[in-house]
Structures are given as structure tokens and as C-alpha cells.
Structure 1
Amino acid sequence: MMLSLLLLVFLVELGAHLVNTVGAATINNILWNLYLAIPTQTSKQVAEQKKLQKEYLTIRRDLNATSSQDQFAKWAKLRRQHDKLQDQLEKNKSSYEASKSKFDSTVNILRWLTTTGLKFLLPFWYAKQPMFWLPQGWFPYYAEWILSFPRAPIGSVSIASWQTACTGVVMLMSDMITAILGLLLGAKIAQKQPAGAAATGEKRKETPNSQQLRNKKDS
């Protein structure tokens, strides 16, 4: 139980950091695309919308290529089909936006409950429960009191202290990964620069002034 609680606190802190780093809107779009990949009523509506839109563009192209004076009957038929499809697309668009808005609201609530909500709930619920015990006699009393704050037994690590430690570890891991990626990217750019510099040097030619100065030095 304790091991699972320790891991749960760490995963909550990691999830909250990922949400803040990636962004809520980006996560919502990823989850929405995954949801559309599932055979649901919404995914069927989206597929139908794409089909209607393709048909609409075809009729619109034919309508623009048809003269209303020379081919009035054909033009009128295409015009009716065009207007009908346009109205249907507008209705489907409204339905799609309503479904997307409802989906985003649900995801936002679930994300808040599983990140921010748990970050407040877990320390409150397990405030008196020690996460693990410190080795006896290794730390002075004031250090044990701080680590057990607010209501865990003296000599143990409280969930609030463990949560703070997890936040620090997650931030450290994030900074380390960012630094490693920055070094790798810088190394790739540095490898490309000599070739580019050489190519630039080959294209450069001596100007008449520089050549005259060199001749004066030689003389």
C-alpha cells in the first residue's frame, strides 16, 4: 500500500508537470484525435462531414465552370445541390463544434481531478500517515520535525514532504532532459557549420582592394 502511494504521488506530480509543459490545448487535441479513431457516433459524423465536404467542393467547382446563361438548366441544378450541401455542412459543423466543446470540458475536468485535485486531496487525506521512516538518530530533531510536517509522526517523512521531493525530482529530470537535447542539437548544428563555412569560403573571392594590399606587402 505504501509503495503504491509513494508511486501515486510521484505519478501525479509527473502528470501535472507534463500538462504544464505540453499544454492543455495540445493534450485535448491529441485525445480528441484518438477518440475519433474509435468507432463512435461522433467519428461517423466526422467521416460523413469529410465526405460531404469533398462532394461540396466538387459541385462548387462544376458550378463555377458552368455558365448560368448558356447552360441555365445545368447551372440551376448544380446551384440547388450546392446550397443544400452548404446548409448540411453548416449544421454538421455546429454539431461537431458542440461535441468537441463537450469533449474538451470532460477532459478538462478529468485532467484537473487527476492532477491538481489529487495534489490537494492526497496530502489532506494521508496527512497523518508516514510515507516511510527515517533511520533512527541520523537526523537532528528539527530536521525530523520538518520532514514530518504537518501531522505525520516525528521521525517519518510526511506525504507533503514526499510530494515536495517528487516535484523537485521531476523538475530536475525535466531540466536534465532539456539540457541533453540542447547539447545534442548544438552538436548537430556544429557538425553542419564547417561544411557550410567551407562552401561559403569557396564562394568568396578576393576583392581588388585586398589583392592590392597583399601585392604591396609582398613588394
Structure 2
Amino acid sequence: MTPYSILLLVVWFLTAKAIVSTAGKPSLHNLAWMVYMKTVKGGTHVKLHDKKQELIAINKEKKAISAQDEYAKWTKLNRKADKLSTEITQLQLEVNIDRTKVNKLIDWIFTILITIPIWFCRVWYRKSLLFYLPSGVLPYPLEWALALPFGLTGAVGMSVWMFAVNQVISSVIFLVSFPLKPSVSAPSKEEAVNNKNNK
């Protein structure tokens, strides 16, 4: 593989890793769960939704009748509601198990598609010299450090390249995301006085 393609490969994987980190795994898990619920039609989550709707209808019906006037009907509805509540609890446990499985699958996908290739590049291409700097451009100790861990002096090694790419990507993400974050309101005079008094 040419040094140019190694450079681009590393940039690609580190960018994907940074995007996943910025988006956050919980939000990606939620997205995967929503996709799962839309694609799997006869799953436990559908049964849970139906049972909850049925329980809501029964509770409305119970509230509409008087327990004293129609005791037999009210008791029958109450037993039905208790049975549905038990079923809902059981179905909720099953849905939680399904959700955990989806989360683990997503974690495995991220590991296989992002983390393992990064480590593979780090180990397999650790001795590759990605590019050379002209001699004397930088002080000798800096040229030596850029070649770490296995390169010749004046060359840029994989570890240094990955570090540099990570720094650039994190800076770009910060610059893009900073204006999009909600502004923080200035503290009121009362809060400022309270903070001074607490010190």
C-alpha cells in the first residue's frame, strides 16, 4: 500500500471515530433502536404498545362507571387491568433485553468497522514512513521525535501522523460545533451576590 493511501485511510477511520464520539453512543443507540422498531413488525415492542393501549382503554372505562353502582363490571375491569399490568411488566423486561441486544450489536459494528481498523493500521503500518521532511527544516530533536516509533530521522511515522490527525479533527469539530451550542445566560445580580457570600 502506498504511503498516500495509508494517509487517507488513517484520516478516514479517525474521522469516523471522531464523528461517532461527537454524536455520542447513546444517541446512536437510540437511532438504532428506532430503526429496529420500524423494521421489525411483529416484535415484543409492538405487543407492549398494544397492551398499553388496551390498559389505557380499560382504565378510561373504569373511570366512566361507578364502583358502587356497577360493582361486578368494575371488579371484572379491575382484574383485567391487573392482569394487563403484569403482562406489560413482563413485556417491558423483554423489550429491555431486545434493546440491550441492539445496543451490543451496534457496539460490535463500531468496533469492527472503526476501532479494529485503527488498531490494525497502528500495528501493521507502524514501520511505514508516510512522508519525509527536507533535512534541516526542523531542529534535529523534533525531526527525530516525528519519526517515532520506528522511522528514520526526517520521516513522519504512523503514531505521529495519527496524533496530528486526531488533533486537527478535534479542532475542526470544536470550531463547527461551538457556534451551534446554546448560549449560556449571564448570571443575575442575585446569583453573583450568593456566589460571593458562599465563598
Q: TM-score, normalised by structure 2?
A: 0.74
Shift of 1:76: 2.9
User: What's 2:195 paired with?
Assistant: none
Residues 13 and 167 of structure 1 are in contact (CA less than 8 Å); yes or no, is this contact kept in structure 2?
yes
In structure 2, stretches of 5+ residues that fail to align are 184-199
The DSSP-based 3-state class of the residue aligned with 1:152 is coil
Name the count of aligned residue pairs.
Answer: 182
CA contact (8 A) 2:135 2:154 kept: no
Structure 2 distance, partners of 1:68, 1:180, is 59
Question: Cα deviation per residue 1:33-63 (whole Å; 9 max; x = unaligned)?
Answer: 122222365xx32122212211110111111
**Aligned CA-pair RMSD:** 2.9
2:100 corresponds to 1:101: yes
Q: Which has the higher helix share?
A: 1
AA at the equivalent of 2:137: F
Residues 40 and 11 from structure 1, CA distance in 2 versus in 1: closer, same or farther, beyond 3 angstroms?
farther
**Equivalent-residue separation in structure 2 for 1:10 and 1:29 (angstroms):** 27
Whole-Å Cα distance in 2 between the matches of residues 45 and 179 of structure 1? 41
How much does 1:178 deviate?
Answer: 3.4
Please tell me the residue identity of whatever aligns with 1:57: I
Look up the SS of the partner of 1:37 in the other structure: helix
Change over 3 Å in CA distance of 1:55–1:6 after alignment to 2: same
Deviations 1:50-109 (A, max 9, x none): 122111101111112222332123223322322222222111101001111222233334
Secondary structure of the equivalent of 2:39? coil
Q: Distance between the aligned counterparts of 1:24 and 1:113, measured in 2?
A: 15
Give how far 1:139 is off. Answer: 3.4
- Describe the shift of the 1:117–1:154 C-alpha distance in structure 2 as closer, same or farther (beyond 3 A): same
